[in-house]
Structure 1
Amino acid sequence: MHELQAAEIQRLIPNRFPICYIDQVTELVPDQRITAVKNVTINEDFLQGYFPGQPEMPGTLIIETLAQAASILILKSPQFAHKTAYIGSIRQATFHKRVLPGAALRLEVELVKVKANMGVVATRALVADELVCTAELHFVVQATAG
């Protein structure tokens, strides 16, 4: 189990500003689970025009943030080192509460199944220990272009 900071996160996933949403990995057990954090600030580009006067993080970006955490978990697994993970499908996405500026969005991802270069993760997003989103993500891993 270990933590990752921004520099190591950026070595793993191709996402960069303004679409890199993972600020920190607080727990990582390769081939099992990851816990990561996204700090939602009022300065986020996506909050400027989304529900003016009542800013909240869009559900699609909560799913993207969960997918980025899942990518880190997948790419830290020995069989997928130096590859890229892509979302194949999103299943059973449910949104329970709004995510507002000032929130520390905690992302929990558990590896459920892997077969060859495909797999499934179960995800949860929480704010202050309250569930805001759950989803099952299916992924495909391919060799990194280089």
Structure 2
Amino acid sequence: MTTATTEAKEGFVLNIGQIMATIPHRYPFLLVDRILELEPGVRAVGLKNVTMNEDFFNGHFPGNPIMPGVLIVEHAAQVGGVLLLTSTANKGKLALFASIEEMKFRRQVVPGDQLVTEVTILKVGSRAGRVRAVCRVGEQVAAEGEFTFVLVPDSAQATTPGKEG
């Protein structure tokens, strides 16, 4: 995990390299392009630029491309993971998905959309965290729900040569 160094008006901004240093996801499953706002321990706003180049559009659905709901959930969970793991108390940990509560899908997400997700911490401890996510395209809510994560030691940080802890 790295510490964000670029300050924005409402918090910190993380670029793709900083995101990749915080969560373990990689192509083709890294679904956050940028963190637009970050208040560690409080909230984060993440961005996914949805393009026709996404592999999942080949089969979901031919002639009518729609981002799968499970990938919208995964995008929101990754923003939540970044939020939880940028806290100093969670350095050296992984945020593993434990549950999804009351997830609602309200709008389709299609190529050309910018999916902007705000995640706020509802509760966090040393071994778990609960967040609320609201995913938007423009002013419209695309999806919303609550997630619980289990926080565990990141064994890869201890075993990967050259990886900062």
TM-score by length of 2: 0.87
Distance in 1 (CA, whole Å) between partners of 2:90 and 2:24 is 15
Q: How does 1:16-55 map to 2 (within 5 A)?
A: 16-55=26-65
1:76 is matched with which residue? 86
Distance in 1 (CA, whole Å) between partners of 2:79 and 2:47 is 9
Of 115, 135, 139, which residue of structure 2 is paired with 1:129? Answer: 139
| Divergent runs of 4+, >3 A | none
What is the CA-CA distance between 1:115 and the residue it aligns to?
2.7
Q: Give 2:92's aligned amino acid.
A: H
Distance in 1 (CA, whole Å) between partners of 2:98 and 2:142 is 22
Q: How does 1:92-111 map to 2 (within 5 A)?
A: 92-111=102-121
Distance in 2 (CA, whole Å) between partners of 1:38 and 1:124 is 13
What is the CA deviation profile of residues 16-49 of structure 1, one whole-angstrom value per residue up to 9, with x for unaligned ones? Answer: 0000010000100000000010000000001111
Q: Give 1:124's aligned amino acid.
A: V
Residue identity (%): 37
What is the CA-CA distance between 1:50 and the residue it aligns to?
0.7
Mark the structure with the bigger radius of gyration: 2
SS in 1 for 2:136: strand
Structure 2: gaps spanning 5 or more residues:
1-10, 159-165
Distance in 2 (CA, whole Å) between partners of 1:14 and 1:119 is 18
Of 2, 27, 35, which residue of structure 1 is paired with 2:12? Answer: 2
Higher RCO, Cα 8 Å, sep 6+:
1
Distance in 2 (CA, whole Å) between partners of 1:61 and 1:33 is 21
Q: In the comparison of the two structures, how many residue pairs are matched?
A: 146
8 Å CA contact 2:89, 2:126 repeated in 1: no
8 Å CA contact 2:120, 2:131 repeated in 1: yes
Does structure 1 residue 88 correspond to structure 2 residue 110?
no
2:66 is matched with which residue? 56
What is the CA-CA distance between 1:116 and the residue it aligns to?
2.9
